[in-house]
Copies of this chain bind each other. A is one copy, B any other.
């Protein structure tokens, strides 16, 4: 199947392009950026580490390390859960919020440049739909909620 190689190559491309600018101009990994983004959208700007890990598809240890970095940079803080002493919440600090607001426009521009130029609305939509099936599929396999 020749297709597979191409699919993977294309993704690598996308990720690299998108992360390059982010790293260069804001010192953030794509994953770090996405975590910030997820937190910003979450209620109370806080999320459990497990859920965060799941959403960015990182291993538990991966998330620990990523959050360590963000915490060291002051962009994220820890909060203990009262109901369950095992869980720690990561919550966006105001500094983190500010950072995100600085990154977002550039990131959106990069995405626009990469995608908007190449695809029209319909194509983009179908791309998202098609790829979406893959993610959905993966979720099923790990977490077969019927």
Chain B residue at minimum C-beta to C-beta distance from A112: B1
A122 to chain B, nearest CB (A): 11
Count residues of A near B (Cβ-Cβ below 8 Å).
Answer: 43
A11 at the interface (CB under 8 A from B): yes
Give the chain B neighbours of A37 by CB distance below 8 A.
5
Of A69-77, A89-97, A129-137, the stretch lying at the interface with chain B is A129-137
- Can you tell how many copies of this chain the complex includes? 2
B123 and A1 within 8 A (CB): no
Give the chain B neighbours of A30 by CB distance below 8 A.
8
Of A14-22, A43-51, A79-87, the stretch lying at the interface with chain B is A14-22
B118 and A10 within 8 A (CB): no
Among A4, A30, A115, A133, max chain B CB count under 10 A is at A4
Q: Given A1-B108, A137-B118, check contact A127 B15 (CB 8 Å).
A: no
Interface positions, chain A 15-68, Cβ under 8 Å from B, are: 15-18, 30, 34, 37, 56-57
Among A8, A112, A118, A123, max chain B CB count under 10 A is at A8
